[in-house]
Amino acid sequence: MMLPIAQSEIDDYTSHPGNIPNFHNFNTPQLEPGEGGIFSLEIQNRYIGNITDVSIYAEIYHRADIDDSETLVEINSANRPTITENCWNYKNNEENCSDSPNLESAEFNIEQLLVNQTVQLRFDVNTKEDTKEGTYFVRFSMSYEFNETDRKLQSRGFWNMEQWTNATTNLTEDYPGNINLNLLNVDGIIPDSSFGVKKPIPKWPLYLLITLTIVFAGLSVIFYLEEEETYPELNKWLQKMRGKFNQFWLSFKYRKSS
C-alpha cells in the first residue's frame, strides 16, 4: 500500500514518535535469586498502513544497583539471569513459541501487523541462587518493511552516553522527537525496560520494631497515669509488679553467684 504523500514527508511521518509502533503495557518481573518469571509487553501498529516482515529483538544488556553499574558481559556467566522460551501472539489469538537464540536475548519474527493491530510478546526470565542482585536493563530493536521501505527502531540502550548526547543536543534541524535519527542511523526510538533481582528484606526486624513501639507506648501511658496519681489501683498493681521483679532479680543474682 503506497501512502499519498511525498518521500520526504514519509520519513517525517514514519519516524514521528506518535506514529511509530507503540511499545506499551510492560509487565516486568521482580524476582528473588533462584526464581523465574515472565517479562511481557504489547506492540501496536499505529501507521495508516500495514507493516510486514516484522522482527523484534530483546536483550538484557546492563545491570545496576545502588553501589555500582556494569554491562552484562562484565558479569560472570554463572551469575547472570537468562532468557529461555519466547512467545508471541496477535491479541486474543493462539501463541507461537520458540527457544531463545541465546541466554541473554529473545527474538520474535512476525509476518505482518495490520493497521491498529496489537501483538503480545513474552519471554521467560530465569535466575539462580547465585544470580547477582540488581536492576537488569533490557533493550529492544524492531525492524520491518513499511511502504516498500525497510525501517529500523532501537531503544536507548544501543548507544553510549556520548553518542546519545551528540544526537540530542545542538540540533540545527527540526528532527522527530528532537533526536538526530540520522546520526543514530535509525528510523525511530523505542523504550528500554528493566526487571529486578533482589533478596527480600527480612520482616522480623519490622515486627520487632512494631512490638517494641507498642510496648513502650503502653508503658509511657502507664507511668504517666502513675505520676498523676489518679488511679490508685494502678499504682498498687505497679508496686506489686516492681516487687515481683526485684524478687526475681535478687533470686537470679543469688543463683549466679553460687
- Has residue 60 got a pLDDT over 70? yes
Give the per-residue pLDDT at 177: 81
What is the overall mean pLDDT for the chain?
84
- Residue 201 and residue 206: Cα distance in Å, rounded? 10
Give the per-residue pLDDT at 161: 93
Give the per-residue pLDDT at 238: 62
C-alpha cell at 222: 502507664
DSSP string, the chain: ---SS-HHHHHHHHH-TTTS-EEEEEE--EE-TT-EEEEEEEEE--SSS-EEEEEEEEEEEEEE-SS-EEEGGGS-GGGS-EEEEEEEEETTS--EEEE-SBTTEEEEEEEEE-TT-EEEEEEEEE--TTPPPEEEEEEEEEEEEETTEEEEEEEGGGS-HHHHHHHHSS--S--GGG--HHHHT-SEEE--EEEEE-PPPPSHHHHHHHHHHHHHHHHHHHHHHHHHT--HHHHHHHHHHHHHHHHHHHHHHHHHH-
Give the per-residue pLDDT at 100: 84
Mean pLDDT (whole number) for 189-210: 79
Give the per-residue pLDDT at 174: 76
> In this predicted model, what pLDDT tens digit does every residue of 139-193 receive, in sequence order?
999 999 998 999 999 999 999 999 999 999 888 777 778 888 989 999 999 999 9
> In this predicted model, what pLDDT tens digit does every residue of 3-45 receive, in sequence order?
444 343 437 889 999 999 999 999 999 999 999 999 999 999 9
Domain ranges of the chain: 7-197, 204-257
- Has residue 59 got a pLDDT over 70? yes
- Has residue 212 got a pLDDT over 60? yes
CATH fold for domain 7-197 = Immunoglobulin-like (2.60.40)
pLDDT grade for 108, boundaries at 50, 70 and 90: very high
Mean pLDDT (whole number) for 224-235: 58
Report the share of the chain in percent with pLDDT over 70.
75
Give the per-residue pLDDT at 176: 79
> In this predicted model, what pLDDT tens digit does every residue of 68-85 receive, in sequence order?
999 999 999 999 999 998
Give the per-residue pLDDT at 230: 58
- Has residue 216 got a pLDDT over 70? no
- Has residue 252 got a pLDDT over 50? yes
Who has greater pLDDT, 56 or 231? 56
Who has greater pLDDT, 248 or 138? 138
Q: pTM above 0.85?
A: no
